[in-house]
């Protein structure tokens, strides 16, 4: 089987518009959650989110092209540009052997909301001709491939909050099966809209701590009461190992294992067994190594954090054998389909820097979440193997494991 390595990364989040800025802020415990500015929140029960700040889409697209793409595409383009520069490919590379694996949980929700209102108020003739191309999830991959001239497989994952992680495993499978030599993974989400926040709020999935947004997302804390929406994008360049070595690429890590599973239980309530099966599959594929750090899905919801804790105990053979675990969603918010991509980049950078990011806003211990969650402050550590978990509505789960070479 062909080996797969990571040779380029990029991300944009609520705490930074590039990977270095964002990672430092995450490790410093900076919270990017605040009052929503992207729309008028009057009358809404939830008014907080983790918005990307000071981002001008005309810096990643020609100004006249900006309106042709929704915000999630803008964010994905930014992350992809950073990852491609980081990978430092030669001009003469074979673009037909280079593919893309894109991901978003919802895609162009702002465009859907806007054009639905236009239809209702002004009629069908006023709908934008750019509406459909700007809203489709696979248009993220489409825009990125056009910019970079990528002509290989063009794939997309739409698996809720596991989409970013699944895009990584799909890209890896393509390389392993000799369908491509390089794959650009791009995961992006921007669903902070009235209907997006309102919909999740109607499900009682979101925290309602509007008066204290900085501590609203509390993964593993006993008083957690829901997740906080975030937005952002991430990109990873995956490459066949021999190809990367031959061109002298900087290799962050090898993708040692990945696992996927379905709960087959409930459309929104997660189980313990489904995530555990995905973790076991990734762990077995990686050769059951000593895992030094787990970036948890850790949503700050009562059920997920409890079940994920129990699943990790089962996987590693008890609390005493579990590695340090943290959730970085307290800093970035929950970026839905982009979360897996962002957290994979965070995990790779943690390995590179030898530092475990903290779980911020941990104030009240929960006996059901009793692992070493690296509370509130980052910790220096020698990280050789890291795991990243993602679980989504519909009972869809994805896990990836990276190891140093």
What positions carry a catalytic annotation?
Answer: 161, 297, 334
Tokens 């990528």 belong to 150
| 301 within 8 A of 226, measured Cβ to Cβ | yes
Residues β-bridged to residue 206? 227
Phi-psi region of 362 (alpha: psi -120 to 50; beta: other; left: phi over 0): beta
**Judging by beta carbons within 10 Å of its beta carbon (0-12, 13-18, 19+), is residue 95 exposed, middle or buried?**
middle
Residues β-bridged to residue 6? 238, 253
| 10 within 8 A of 79, measured Cβ to Cβ | yes
Annotate 333-351 with b (16+ C-beta within 10 A) or e (fewer): bbbbbbbbbbbbbbbbbbb
Distance CA 208, CA 2 (A): 47
Annotate 7-23 with b (16+ C-beta within 10 A) or e (fewer): bbbbbbbbbbbebeebb
Distance CA 11, CA 26 (A): 12
Distance CA 229, CA 206 (A): 8
Residue 285 to residues 5, 344, 386, Cα–Cα distance (Å) = 15, 17, 14
DSSP helix/strand/coil, 326: strand
Side-chain-side CA neighbours of 322 within 13 Å: the count stands at 22
């Amino acid at each position: 089987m062909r080996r797969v390595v990571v040779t380029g990364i990029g991300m944009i989040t609520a705490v930074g518009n590039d990977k270095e800025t964002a990672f430092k802020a995450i490790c410093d415990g900076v919270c990017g959650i605040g009052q929503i500015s992207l729309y008028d929140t009057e009358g809404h029960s939830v008014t907080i989110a983790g918005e990307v700040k000071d981002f001008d889409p005309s810096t990643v697209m020609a100004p006249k092209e900006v309106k042709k793409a929704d915000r999630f595409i803008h964010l994905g383009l930014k992350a992809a540009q950073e990852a491609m520069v980081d990978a430092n490919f030669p001009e003469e590379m074979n673009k037909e052997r280079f593919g893309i694996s894109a991901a978003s949980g919802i895609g162009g929700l702002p465009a859907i909301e806007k054009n639905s209102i236009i239809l209702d108020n002004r009629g069908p003739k006023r709908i934008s001709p750019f509406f459909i191309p700007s809203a489709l999830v696979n248009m993220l991959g489409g825009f990125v491939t056009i910019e970079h001239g990528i002509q290989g497989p063009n794939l997309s994952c739409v698996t809720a909050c596991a989409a970013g992680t699944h895009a990584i495993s799909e890209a890896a499978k393509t390389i392993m099966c000799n369908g491509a030599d390089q794959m650009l993974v791009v995961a992006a989400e921007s669903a902070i809209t009235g209907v997006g926040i309102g919909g999740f709020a109607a499900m009682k999935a979101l925290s309602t701590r509007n008066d204290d947004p900085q501590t609203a997302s509390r993964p593993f804390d006993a008083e957690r009461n829901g997740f906080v929406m975030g937005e952002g994008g991430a990109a990873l360049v995956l490459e066949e190992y021999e190809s990367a070595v031959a061109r002298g690429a900087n290799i962050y890590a090898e993708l040692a294992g990945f696992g996927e599973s379905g709960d087959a239980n409930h459309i929104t309530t997660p189980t313990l067994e489904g995530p555990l099966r995905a973790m076991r599959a990734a762990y077995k594929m990686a050769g059951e190594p000593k895992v030094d750090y787990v970036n948890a899905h850790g949503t700050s919801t009562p059920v997920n954090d409890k079940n994920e804790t129990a699943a990790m105990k089962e996987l590693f053979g008890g609390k005493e054998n579990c590695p340090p675990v943290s959730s970085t969603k307290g800093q970035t918010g929950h970026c839905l389909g982009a979360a897996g991509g962002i957290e994979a980049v965070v995990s790779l950078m943690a390995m590179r820097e030898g530092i475990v990011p903290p779980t911020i806003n941990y104030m009240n211990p929960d006996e059901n979440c009793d692992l070493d969650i690296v509370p509130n402050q980052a910790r220096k550590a020698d990280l050789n193997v890291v795991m990243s978990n993602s679980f989504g509505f519909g009972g869809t789960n994805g896990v990836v494991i990276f190891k140093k070479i």
